[in-house]
Chain A
Amino acid sequence: MYQYDQYDQTLVNERVAQFRDQTRRFLAGELSEDQFRPLRLMNGLYIQTHAPMLRVAIPYGLLSSQQLRMLAHIARHYDKGYGHFTTRQNIQYNWPKLEEVPDILADLATVEMHAIQTSGNCIRNTTSDHLAGVCVDELEDPRPWCEIIRQWSTLHPEFAFLPRKFKIAVSGAAKDRAATQVHDIGLYLVNNAEGEIGFEVLVGGGLGRTPIIGQTIRPFLEKKHLLSYLEAILRVYNLYGRRDNKYKARIKILLKETGIEQFTRMVEEEWLHIRDSLEMDQEEIDRVKTFFTAPAYDPNAAHDTSFELHQANEKAFADWVRVNTVEHRVAGYRAAFVSLKAPGIPPGDMTDAQMEIVADLADRYSFGELRVTHTQNLLLADIKQGELYELWQKLSEANLATANIGKATDIICCPGLDFCSLANSSSIPVALEIAQHLDDVDYLYDLGDIRINISGCMNGCGHHTVGHIGILGVDKKGEEWFQLTLGGSSSNDASLGERLGPSVPKADVASTVDTILKTYLELREGEESFLDTVKRIGMAPFQEKVYANH
């Protein structure tokens, strides 16, 4: 993974000093709340229901074991012993003290981490495929490009006060695992007719109040022009994006109101002016790429025979292998998920002790690195098949081996009303109750791959609009009700879920999901997935069952 040099380290240290001074001036009354707000947000600090919330950047979800140990230390020392992994592959702490945040940032800087631009109206953490570099369907590793974008966007002087937040995702594989099409800018590494690799550029995707799938404004961009093209898009957005209404300020609204042809013309025209002066330096691209080379894989890894044996002897292990591990591009290796979706645990939450354990496991089995997925789990990317059994045992002891990745209990969920001051419903208890209804593993596996996403309000942090089943908390006269949608997806076939019907009271959400799942089992054809079934039969059969007694 990328390692800081003196420049990267100096910048992060200087940022800590700057924020320490900003916090001091705020506490001394020299900065007003209105003045401090954009400054603290650009350092990931929210004022929440109970306490400030600090969001720490995990660039494109990549972590070293040393960094995870530091995250554990922060959870233990400054918070209540846990952290919450987010859909931007970051981590949030819900209980830090404002006056201690500069110290937290200083601790993070010692392990090449920061909270720069994890919130606020600026360019946020670039996200990517959690299987980057190890998956079998990859055209090119997106991580060097993510790092290049990270550096370019970090403290970019022109784009620190945009109309609204700005999110970029990069995907380099055939299957989109990065929700690329629901980003302000989505980048797909693609081949052109000549067989060269470049970027397909999508703009204007996003979730939140007005969910929209991004549109391609350039089918192929030469790699050397990546930053000039991004800069052109950002400049058009900064100058022309709406600032009169924060709910209409995202680039998706500008694109919609301008029209894609005109918007594309504006970007291309701007780009022509800056293209040649901002052409990327091949030496720097090559330098960044050297940090993402393959580790020293064991050439004999595939010779192991114990892996098959353990699976034959122990069904629980076989289930875990089938559900929680995926094929690796190197023979004899697999990538293994660390499930943060155990029964009774808020989705994405992890204790300091669990972080320490996984850091040790990463050192022992996976070259000291791990990844955060946008579905709020962790991944150990490079596990020898002969060591999977040991790994599974150790993960099981730590309650991190629930074999449910991609299944109905692997729910994406925002922190909700329990923590967040924006939310109007508590999403976590709903997620836990749905999972509780699905405690029979045979039933769970029979349902196949299903994405259930829950947001506590229309801001959509839980990606409800792209859930196969989406669940959105709404406020009805002071009571928590939930709106359900079916058929959403954030993958290659990105689509927004369609509304099932009237919202249901909180107490009925889990049973409603039950009804939907049972209806699917009745009506599916052969091995047909939930999403395919919804697409084939539409909403009506589900509506009939769910609202039959109403």
Chain B
Amino acid sequence: MQIIKDGKITHDEVRHLSDDEVPTSTRFTVSCTRWKSEKDALLTTGNLLGVRLKGGDSIADIADDLHQIGLVVVEFPALADGRSFSLARLLRERFGYEGEIRATGDFIRDQVYFLARVGVNAFEPVAVTDLENLLTAFTDFTVNYQAAADNVKPVYRQRR
């Protein structure tokens, strides 16, 4: 599978397990709900890569475990569901998470610039997406009015 990570198209194999799927021998992610109930068993498989958050999940539920989680997925069940923007930003700014934050699901190219600004550094869009086209979204804008998780210098600091 091809995804975008840190501004490049890369190959990546990770299985996003549903809650009743047995852990695979390759790397996998689980839902936040499953993580809460099966955390210890999942960790012993040695293949657990990440936890998936969606709108309504609380970062507090994984906050103490973030050092054991290499990937946090923020899911887009629908492109207009903007809760993941806040989740990503909180992960970076409030919880100091430095691992991979990956957007998955029904987001589109036109949200990529904003997602990058709130701290998402990997993008796994729906299958038909043209990743080359998506890469160009990082430079849609060169000016930012506000501070966010990407640590760019907002305009009001550049004006000094």
Q: How far is the CB of B158 from chain A (nearest CB, A)?
A: 7
Answer whether residue B79 sits at the interface, using C-beta atoms and an 8 A cutoff: yes
Query: CB-CB < 8 A to B148: which residues of A?
Result: 157-158
Q: Does B105 contact A (CB under 8 A)?
A: no
Cα A284 to Cα B148 with chains together (Å): 18
A159 on the B face (CB < 8 A): yes
Given A157-B117, A160-B85, A18–B79 Cβ distance below 8 Å? no
Asked, given contacts A11-B141, A35-B108, whether A287 binds B159 with beta carbons under 8 Å apart, the answer is: yes
**A254 on interface, CB distance cutoff 8 Å:** no
A139-161 CB mask vs B (1 if < 8 Å, else 0) is: 00000000000011011111111
Asked if A443 is an interface residue, CB under 8 A from chain B, the answer is: no
Contact between B86 and A239, CB atoms less than 8 A apart: yes
Contact yes or no, A7 B159, CB < 8 A: yes
Say whether B20 faces chain A, with CB atoms less than 8 Å apart. no
Inter-subunit contact B117/A238 (CB<8 Å): no
Q: Are A160 and B114 in contact (CB under 8 A)?
A: yes
Chain A, residues 29-64, CB within 8 Å of chain B (1/0): the string is 001001100110000000000000000000000000
Q: How many A-B residue pairs have CB under 8 A?
A: 94
Q: How many residues of A contact B (CB 8 A)?
A: 39
Binary flags per residue of B95-120, CB closer than 8 Å to A gives 1, else 0: 00000000000001011011101100
Instruction: Flag if A158 contacts B89 (CB, 8 Å).
Output: yes
Partner among A7, A18, A157, A273 whose Cβ is within 8 Å of the Cβ of B143: A7
Report whether A157 and B157 are in contact in the complex, using a CB–CB cutoff of 8 Å: no
Given contacts A5-B159, A7-B158, A152-B145, contact A157 B113 (CB under 8 A): yes
Is A273 touching B94 in the complex (CB atoms < 8 A)? yes
- Could you say which of A35, A239, A284 contacts B83, with CB atoms under 8 Å apart? A239
B55, B89, B110, B159: most-surrounded residue (chain A CB, <10 A): B110
Q: Name the A residues within 8 Å of B118 (CB-CB).
A: 157-158
Q: In B58-77, which residues have CB < 8 Å from any A CB? A: none
A162 touches B143 (CB 8 A): no
Q: B residues within 8 A CB of A160? A: 82, 85, 111, 114
* Measured CA separation A11–B154 after assembly (Å): 12
In chain A between 63 and 114, which residues have their CB closer than 8 angstroms to a CB of chain B?
Answer: none
- Complex contacts, A5 vs chain B, CB 8 Å: 159
Closest chain-B Cβ to A500's Cβ sits at a distance in Å of 38
Q: How many B residues are at the interface, by size bracket?
A: 35 or more
The residues of B that contact A274 with a CB separation of less than 8 Å are 93
A243-B55, A284-B159 known; A157 vs B85 contact (CB < 8 Å): yes
Which of B87, B108, B158, B160 has the most chain A CB within a 10 Å cutoff?
B108
Is the C-beta of B147 less than 8 angstroms from some C-beta in chain A? yes
B156: A residues at CB distance < 8 A: 151, 281, 284
CA distance A18 to B141 in the complex (A): 9
Confirm or deny: A278 has a beta carbon within 8 angstroms of a beta carbon on chain B: yes
Whether the pair B80, A161 counts as a contact (CB closer than 8 A) is yes
Contacts of B145 in A (CB 8 A): 11, 151-152, 154-156
B120 vs chain A, min Cβ distance (A): 10
Closest CB of chain A to B105's CB: distance in Å?
13
Asked if residues A10 and B143 are in contact (CB atoms below 8 Å), the reply is: yes
* Inter-chain contact A152/B146, CB cutoff 8 Å: yes
> Is A235 in the interface zone, CB < 8 Å from B?
yes
Please judge, given known A-B contacts A158-B86, A159-B82, A273-B94, whether A281 and B157 are in contact too, CB under 8 Å: yes
B79's partner among A10, A38, A158, A162 (CB-CB below 8 A) is A38
Cα–Cα, bound, A156→B147 (Å): 9
In contact, B159 and A35 (Cβ under 8 angstroms)? no
Q: A284: which B residues are within 8 A, CB to CB?
A: 156, 159
* B80, B113, B160: the one within 8 Å of A283 (CB): B160
Please give the distance in Å from B29's CB to the nearest CB on chain A.
22
Interface centre among B86, B118, B142 (most CB of A within 10 A): B86
* Chain B interface (Cβ < 8 Å from any Cβ of A): 55, 79-83, 85-87, 89, 93-94, 108, 110-111, 113-115, 117-118, 140-148, 155-160
A/B interface sample: 17 pairs, CB < 8 A: A7-B159, A18-B110, A22-B110, A151-B145, A154-B145, A157-B85, A158-B114, A159-B82, A160-B82, A161-B85, A235-B86, A238-B86, A243-B81, A274-B93, A278-B147, A283-B160, A284-B159
Task: Give 3 closest A-B pairs by Cβ, nearest first.
Answer: A161-B82, A157-B117, A157-B114
Q: Chain A residues in contact with chain B, CB under 8 A?
A: 5, 7-8, 10-11, 14-15, 18, 22, 31, 34-35, 38-39, 121, 151-152, 154-163, 235, 238-239, 243, 273-274, 277-278, 281, 283-284, 287
Known: A157-B85, A157-B114, A238-B85. 10 other contacts (CB 8 A): A7-B143, A7-B159, A152-B146, A158-B85, A158-B114, A161-B79, A161-B82, A239-B83, A239-B86, A277-B147
